[in-house]
Structures are given as structure tokens and as C-alpha cells.
């Protein structure tokens, strides 16, 4: 794996050449795309083990940035917050299909909208991957009301997340109407 070159001859990015276990802390943390899906409360059927997603977000999730507002201390504030490890990434069935950790663990590449690929932390939001503008805060919601907040979208890859958006027709007209020099 190490030293593998991509199609253009440049050195392949670390997530293609380094195992999850061998990544530095900075590399590991950068695999998080900032979507916030893992910060949504989930319900588990005790009989079947099936997971049901809700749009109820952890009280520490900033709904605009989709990042934890107190990441270093999250485990003390939210005792059931999961600190992902390479082993857990491979065994937690509820990680969203868009999760960078899950994708790399499964031997897949990161998608176009991932900030490590795009170079822009906003692409995860533009592609409709993040929870931005789609969640409610858990503060004040009683457990019995969680069933009123069941959603399916966190377990799916939105169409816009599959490939980059094409240029608008307006932008194409300016190219089509141009004369050759």
C-alpha cells in the first residue's frame, strides 16, 4: 500500500495507503467529514437489534457547522458519546454509509464532497450529506417523543452525494455561443 501512486503519478493520499490503525491522530480526525450524522440519536429495537434513526441531535452538536461544540470534553458531558476506534468502525452497523471512517475501513475511496478530496469543508453541506438545517436539539425532547422524529435519510446516500453537480445550463450557454478564434 505505501508509496502507491494515483493515476496522475502523484503520491496517493494517506487514506488510500495507510491502515486506520497506522494513521496519526491528525489523519484519523481528518477522516471525519463533519456531516454530524453520527451525532443523531438512534433507537434500537431490543428484540431485533434494528436501528432507527431520528433527526434529534446531541445537545453538543452545532447545527450550523455540524461539529461538536465541546469535542475534547464530550465524553464527560455526554457519557454515551462514542469515541470511534478502528475496531469500532469495522463493527458498528449504524455508522452512516457516507462516513469517511466506514468507507476507508471498507476499502473504498472518499467521495468528491469529502473535505480531504474537495479541499473545502462546505462541500459536505452543499452535497446534502450533512445534518445542517435538518435536525432538532435533544434538549427538551422526552424519550417517548423520539418516535415522532424518526427519519430514514441518515442511512442513505443522497443523489447529490454520488457525483458532483453539473454546471448550470446558464453557464453552459456562455461557452456554446462563443465563436472560435
Look at the chain and report how many structural domains it folds into: 1
Average pLDDT over residues 112-135: 96
Q: How far apart are CA 50 and CA 47, in angstroms?
A: 8
Look up the domain containing 162 and give its range. Answer: 14-176
Residue 9 counted as domain residue? no
Residue 7 counted as domain residue? no
Residue 103 counted as domain residue? yes
Contact status, residue 111 vs residue 117, Cβ threshold 8 Å: yes
- pLDDT of 137 reads 96
Residue 6 counted as domain residue? no
Provide the 3-class DSSP secondary structure of residue 18.
Answer: coil
Residues making up the chain, counted from first to last: 181
Q: What angle do CA 150, 154, 156 make, to 5 degrees?
A: 120
Q: What percent of the chain has pLDDT over 70?
A: 83
Residue 114 counted as domain residue? yes
Residue 132 counted as domain residue? yes
Contact status, residue 102 vs residue 93, Cβ threshold 8 Å: no
Residue 149 counted as domain residue? yes
pLDDT band at residue 9 using 50, 70 and 90 as cut-offs: low
pLDDT band at residue 164 using 50, 70 and 90 as cut-offs: low
pLDDT band at residue 159 using 50, 70 and 90 as cut-offs: confident
pLDDT in tens, 52-73: 999 999 999 999 999 999 999 9
- pLDDT of 72 reads 95
What Cα–Cα distance (Å) separates residue 145 from each residue in 58, 78, 142, 149?
A: 15, 20, 6, 7
H-helix segments, 10-121: 14-17, 25-30, 74-77, 86-91, 100-105, 115-118
Contact status, residue 37 vs residue 124, Cβ threshold 8 Å: no
Q: Is the pLDDT of residue 170 over 80?
A: no
Average pLDDT, the chain: 87
pLDDT in tens, 73-100: 999 999 999 999 999 999 998 999 999 9
Lowest pLDDT segment from 31-45, 136-150, 166-180: 166-180
Amino acid at each position: 500500500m505505501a508509496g502507491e501512486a494515483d493515476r496522475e503519478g502523484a503520491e496517493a493520499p494517506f487514506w488510500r495507503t495507510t491502515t486506520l490503525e497506522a494513521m496519526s491522530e491528525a489523519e484519523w480526525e481528518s477522516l471525519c467529514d463533519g456531516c454530524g450524522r453520527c451525532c443523531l440519536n438512534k433507537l434500537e429495537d431490543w428484540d431485533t437489534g434494528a436501528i432507527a434513526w431520528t433527526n434529534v441531535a446531541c445537545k453538543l452538536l452545532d447545527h450550523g457547522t455540524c461539529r461538536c461544540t465541546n469535542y475534547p470534553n464530550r465524553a464527560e458531558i455526554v457519557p454515551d458519546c462514542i469515541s470511534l476506534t478502528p475496531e469500532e468502525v469495522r463493527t458498528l452497523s449504524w455508522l452512516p454509509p457516507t462516513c469517511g471512517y466506514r468507507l476507508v475501513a471498507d476499502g473504498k475511496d472518499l467521495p468528491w464532497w469529502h473535505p480531504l478530496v474537495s479541499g473545502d469543508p462546505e462541500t459536505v453541506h452543499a452535497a446534502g450529506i450533512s445534518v445542517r438545517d435538518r435536525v432538532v436539539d435533544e434538549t427538551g425532547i422526552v424519550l417517548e417523543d423520539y418516535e415522532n422524529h424518526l427519519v430514514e435519510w441518515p442511512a442513505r446516500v443522497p443523489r447529490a452525494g454520488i457525483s458532483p453537480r453539473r454546471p448550470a445550463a446558464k453557464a453552459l450557454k456562455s461557452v456554446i455561443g462563443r465563436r472560435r478564434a
